[in-house]
Amino acid sequence: MRYGIFSDVHANLDAFESVIDAMEKENIDEYLCLGDTVGYGAQPSECIAKVRNLNATALCGNHDLAAIERLNIEFFNFYARRASYWTRDNLTNSDITYLESLNFVEHYDNFAIVHSTIYCPEEFNYILTLEDAEINFSVLDKPICFMAHSHVPVSFFDTDPITYNTEPEIKLEPGQKYLINVGSVGQPRDGDPRSAYAVYDTEQQRVWIRRVEYDIESAMNKILDADLPDILAHRLKEGK
């Protein structure tokens, strides 16, 4: 079984189409979307349609919740808040019903998927430090948890002490637990502007973090033309 796992599309259709093209060459059996399909970018409705079209099992991220008015966005920064109001105005009723149907966590035989943390998924905290990883390992009852939210691909290992790395290939060892951040399709923040996604092959017991180029100028122009905050366009080029 091969899973194509992606997250944080953030209404960036140009990026998402490149990732879909790349995933279609990977013999993927099932697609998993870890949330934040909307927010920031200029094509939220088109991106939701693509997720549905892939028949992906999708989760609800904080920006998805904000767009359907189920999250208090008082703590969002100014740009995220403006983008959130813009997104609300640019979703169809069907998009809203779809986002409302999504869960925070899904469980599979030997892994779980979540947008933010397995410890408390509805609070949308980050897993950034070894301490964050430790709390999450303590409640993870599967070998692997795929997560996202920070837009930075990284893998944590429940070694003693806990370790992490940003290698593009993870060889899964029996008895070991993993927290694997799959990065972001539509707004990478690790300094590499290319879209990120992951492939998990259950037979080979390997995970790969892939990066693909996309037409960044096109995505930027759509954000600028939509009258979304300029910074949301410019950050795409920087990958942060």
| Count, residues near Zn ion per rule CB under 5 A | 2
Q: How far apart are the first and last CA of the chain?
A: 33
Q: How far apart are CA 159 and CA 162, in angstroms?
A: 5
Q: Quick one: CA torsion of 104, 10, 208, 180, rounded to 10 degrees? A: -40
Binding test (CB under 5 A) with Zn ion, winner from 4, 8, 43, 50: 8
Contact indicator for 43, 11 with CB cutoff of 8 Å: yes
Stretch binding Zn ion (CB under 5 A), from 33-41, 88-96, 106-114, 227-235: 33-41
Across the chain, where does the E strand assignment appear? 2-6, 30-33, 57-58, 105-107, 111-114, 144-147, 154-157, 163-165, 169-171, 178-181, 195-201, 206-212
CB of 153 to Zn ion, least distance (A): 13
Closer to Zn ion at the Cβ: 14 or 36? 36
Residue nearest to Zn ion (CB): 36
Closer to Zn ion at the Cβ: 8 or 158? 8
Q: Quick one: CA torsion of 230, 236, 239, 240, rounded to 10 degrees? A: 30
Stretch binding Zn ion (CB under 5 A), from 29-37, 86-94, 118-126, 211-219: 29-37
**Region 135-194 residues binding Zn ion, contact defined as CB under 5 A:** none
Closer to Zn ion at the Cβ: 154 or 172? 154
Binding test (CB under 5 A) with Zn ion, winner from 36, 95, 158, 190: 36
Q: How far apart are CA 183 and CA 193, in angstroms?
A: 11
Q: Is 17 in the site for Zn ion (CB under 5 A)?
A: no
Take residue 131 and report the two structure tokens written for it.
């301490």
Closer to Zn ion at the Cβ: 172 or 220? 220
**Positions in the binding site for Zn ion (CB under 5 A):** 8, 36
